[in-house]
Amino acid sequence: MTTTGIGHIATFTRTAAICAAAAAMAFALAGCNKTAEEKQAFAQRMAAPTAVVMPASKGEAVEGGLAKEPGDGYPTFGAPLTAANVQMSDEQAAELQHQLTALGAKRQSGAISEAEYQRRVAEMRQLAADHGAATLSEITK
């Protein structure tokens, strides 16, 4: 087998291409090697944030809240939860419904004027608007 000038060029080109690919692979793999400090910094960036538990601003902790399991600290929902405020009873709801129904019936029958009806409706709406803020100020005292 005789070698010509073209054969030498082809062999040289093939060898150069193999060397270039090996060098590129070595550079690519060298980028994967991180120092311990770099790995630690990356782990800190990827870690979940720590929870901040705020203490109660006033008073004691709420009783009847979520209890936690003694071993693992996960909350249990077995204990009944308490409301932040006293809830309306069924009797109070029925009385309010009766008042509103009676007011509507008086309007329909003409027993009260439209102006008187609108005054009472405005009074109830004002009570509804102010009641939440007044109750909240009582709770936060």
**Residue 103: C-alpha distances to residues 4, 7, 37, 72 (Å):** 114, 109, 76, 57
Segments making up each domain of the chain, as ranges: 90-139
Of the pLDDT bands very low, low, confident and very high (cuts 50, 70, 90), residue 32 is: low
* Percent of the chain whose predicted confidence (pLDDT) is above 90: 1
Of 58, 83, 123, give the one whose Cα is nearest residue 131.
Answer: 123
Q: pLDDT tens for residues 48-92?
A: 777 666 665 555 554 545 666 677 777 777 666 666 666 778 898
N- to C-terminal Cα separation, the chain: 104
Q: pLDDT tens for residues 90-115?
A: 898 899 899 889 888 888 888 888 88
